[in-house]
Amino acid sequence: MRAFDLIAEEWNGRRREPMPAIDLFLPLVPTGGVMMDAGCGNGRNARIIASRSRLLYCLDSSANMLTFARKNLRGLKNVKITRASVTKLPLPSASIDAAFYLAVLHLLNANQREKAFSEMRRVLRPGGKAFITVWNKDQQKFHEQRSKKEFPVMWKKEDGSTIARHYYFYTASELRLLAKKNGMRAESVFYELSGRKTEKKGAHNLCAVFSRA
């Protein structure tokens, strides 16, 4: 998504800490495996994921976001950073023990979503897990758009201009269905706010853990 090339520098300035939702996933992550941070952005989550993994692939479609990921993850010997789309992963089938999709799957169009979930299943090893966060539409800031399934959300730049990012809003039952349709099991689907499970209303993220049989 080109929008992220345009906002990469400001994104990197504003998003330094790992996203709080990752605290709910980490106890479920097997240590020492081969992992993937798909849509890794500036790598803010990758350092902590890498500390649990033998090898971590960090992938993103934005060259500019990856420039910051390379800076932020410098010195980590078990991290491989590559420009790639979640719709066509440059990884062998059944090679990944844990795949992180943090705030990326909601940026895809219908065709890309179909490919991304199929690719997710392809690269996971039997027993491998995918850890997913997408934005929850049922929060106050999206109240005016509550009847829409997808819409642009603006990034306000420091110079006063805005960059539109197009978001697709999944429901919990839709995520469960997508797991099933793509040969995975939805182990859990839950709402999160500030690193805690919470009720749907007001939650920042909708989260899911999928496993491949």
* 4 near ligand SAM, rule: CB under 6 A: yes
Q: Smaller CB distance to ligand SAM: residue 63 or 127?
A: 63
- Rounded Cα distance between 120 and 128, Å, is 10
Helices (H), 125-206: 172-181
Contact yes or no for 147/176 (Cβ under 8 A): no
DSSP 85: B
Helix axes 172-181, 110-123, angle to 10 degrees: 60
Q: For residue 205, state whether it binds ligand SAM (rule: CB under 6 A).
A: no
Q: Which is nearer to ligand SAM, 127 or 152 (CB)?
A: 152
Q: Phi and psi at residue 159, in whole multiples of 5°?
A: -85, 5
Select from 25-33, 59-67, 124-132, 192-200 the region that touches ligand SAM (CB under 6 A). 59-67
Task: With beta carbons less than 8 A apart as the criterion, state whether 114 and 144 touch.
Answer: no
CA atoms of 102 and 208, how far apart (whole Å): 10
- From 12, 85, 136, 205, residue interacting with ligand SAM (rule: CB under 6 A): 85
45 is a site residue for ligand SAM (CB under 6 A) = yes
| Dihedrals phi, psi of 41, to nearest 5 degrees | 60, -130
Min CB(11)–ligand SAM separation in Å: 7
Region from 48-56, 70-78, 100-108, 172-180 binding ligand SAM, contact rule CB under 6 A: 100-108
Q: What single-letter DSSP state applies at residue 28?
A: G
Contact 56, 50 (CB under 8 A): yes
Q: Which stretch binds ligand SAM (CB under 6 A): 24-32, 56-64, 170-178, 184-192?
A: 56-64
Query: 101-140 mask for ligand SAM (x: CB under 6 A)?
Result: -xxx--xx---x----------------------------
Least Å distance, CB 93 to ligand SAM, is 18
Q: Which residues bind ligand SAM (CB under 6 A)?
A: 1, 4, 15, 19, 39-41, 44-45, 60-62, 65, 85-87, 102-104, 107-108, 112
